[in-house]
Structure 1
Amino acid sequence: MARPRKPTTLKVVAGTDRPDRAPAEVAELPLVSDVPMAPDWLPNAHAIKEWDRLAPILHANKLLTEAGLSALGQLCALHGKTVQLYAAGEAPVASMVAQLRGLMNDFGLTPAAQGKVRPHGDTEKPGNAFTALGKPRAQAAK
């Protein structure tokens, strides 16, 4: 099974966007203009706290789209339920942990996914330190 394509916005933020590899047609989803309030359907205070923590981070890095709000809500709801289980001395089932980790990866929130995403505005590539030395000149034949 093929891996799903990385969204263009993530590629732009990470600095890996290449015009020669762009798919023919890509749906560009509208970014959220302001950090939205947590949805009223989130199951508990832990989920709301996670929304309040993640939404500004994702918005600041231009990763939060109108279409991604429900996925962020699912991530926060799952996080809230997981925290409740741990607080009660229970462990969440493996499928719940896998789903939570998958959603975190989709938003670039795990250490492995973090390396693929650069903060917004950090798109300048470092220059070559050796360019100041100039090009080597050919030695005159003796």
Structure 2
Amino acid sequence: MAGRKRKPDHLKVVAGTDRPDRTNPDAPVPLSELPAAPEWLSARAAEIFDQLVGIVGSMGVGSASDTAMLAMAASRLEEVEICTAIIEDGGRTFVSSAEYDEQGRVISQQIKGHPAVAQRSEAMRHAQSLLVEFGLSPAARSKVSANKSTNENPFAALG
């Protein structure tokens, strides 16, 4: 499908741009509970997953139906951390081959970019696109107005 991605109907309601003629009455309803980290995530990715669930849950956009997307985002963010550590330890470039003279001095060398730099860049790009899906960028967040939660006691009216 060409053009912009469809905005979910619940985000249209929150943003105040909902129109009955543009909503899908047969759209699937996401599960109401928050997701749990899948078993296949590493320990660090599971920590990131839990952080993301806390953020999207407080924004009112998280659902157990989104487990796979949040898990992919957590996995990609972990990959960014791993690649960053590799780059910090080994640098952004490396010598792939070198020629030496009789005294052992370098005559010429070929320097290449470290593969972790490209891997990190791709992981960042993918993580960013996944996070935007949940409104986790300033631009995406500015398009939605969320109701302010009140810290009132729900049982106060009963007393």
TM-score (norm 2): 0.63
Assess, with a 3 A threshold, how the Cα gap between structure 1 residues 68 and 58 changes in structure 2: closer, same or farther: same
Please state whether the residue corresponding to 2:65 is helix, strand or coil: coil
Partner of 1:39: 38
Q: Output one character per residue of 1:3-52: Cα deviation in whole Å (capped at 9) or x when no partner.
A: 221111222233332324324x441322332x33322211341x222211
TM-score (norm 1): 0.70
- The answer to whether the 8 Å contact 1:13/1:61 transfers is no
**Count of residue correspondences:** 119
- The answer to whether the 8 Å contact 2:79/2:123 transfers is no
- The answer to whether the 8 Å contact 2:36/2:64 transfers is no
2:53 to 43, 52, 55: 55
- The answer to whether the 8 Å contact 1:29/1:65 transfers is no
Gaps of 5+ in 2: 88-115, 149-159
- The answer to whether the 8 Å contact 1:39/1:73 transfers is yes
- The answer to whether the 8 Å contact 2:41/2:71 transfers is yes
Partner of 1:2: 3
What is the RMSD computed on CA atoms of the aligned residues?
2.3
Higher RCO by CA contacts (8 Å cutoff, separation 6 or greater): 1
Partner of 2:27: 27
Q: Aligned AA for 2:66?
A: G
